[in-house]
Amino acid sequence: MSDEEPPKRRWKAKPPKAAGGGERQLQTRVKNKKLDESSRNWVKRHLNDPYVARARADGYRARAAYKLIELDEQFQFLKRGLRVIDLGAAPGGWAQVCVKRGCKVVGVDLLPIDPLEGATFFQMDLTDPATPPVLLEALGGPPDLVLSDMAANTTGHAKTDQVRTGALAEAAAEFALAHLAPGGAFVTKAFQGGLDTELLTRLKQGFATVRHAKPPASRAESSEVYVVAMGRKA
């Protein structure tokens, strides 16, 4: 799943403007005293986020849709007719973008995902050896594009969160290296500090280009970056 859920107690698209075209946006205060400070800050930030309002207006399930749109504007990896596997697909925002671009999409997540016309979703664990064959069969062949916006639930400890999300990015990279069609592309979230050095080296050996990017829709205070690998070598 993406990291757009409120914190748990357990472990070129232009930036949107306010309604009416102005630059200012009224701030919403959070008065629920039952929330702890971290949750209250998350809710306040979420309510006042212009990308959240834009996602509602455009019919996207999550503001993360604009991260993918902005990454594609920079790297142009989304093309009509591609076969796409979306790892950690919940709630389905990235899948929506791909379907609108005319792609065939198969997504997987530990969480259930509401149905989406043009996409097939599975509630499975990517690390289960039984999962990849199911995804490939549903897709009808090897993917042209593998996407991952997976992030582990945050613990509040930056180093732990980086390691846990890094492990998910590495699992996604291993899947892409094993199954992508020649010429295909791979996009994954990774915290600053990036992927494991050895794995990053393997990506550079297996793809024509490997780049890091932080799209405007990624919150400035977030340590997330994206790795974009294009041109899978045969």
The catalytic residues are: 189
Which of 114, 79, 111 minimizes the C-alpha distance to 98? Answer: 79
DSSP assignment letter at 195: S
Q: Which residue has 């590495």 as its token pair?
A: 170
Strand partners, 104: 83
Q: Six-digit token pair at 149?
A: 């916006």
Please report, for the chain, how many H helices and E strands are present, in that order: 7, 7
Q: Is the dihedral of CA 187, 188, 189, 191 positive or negative?
A: negative
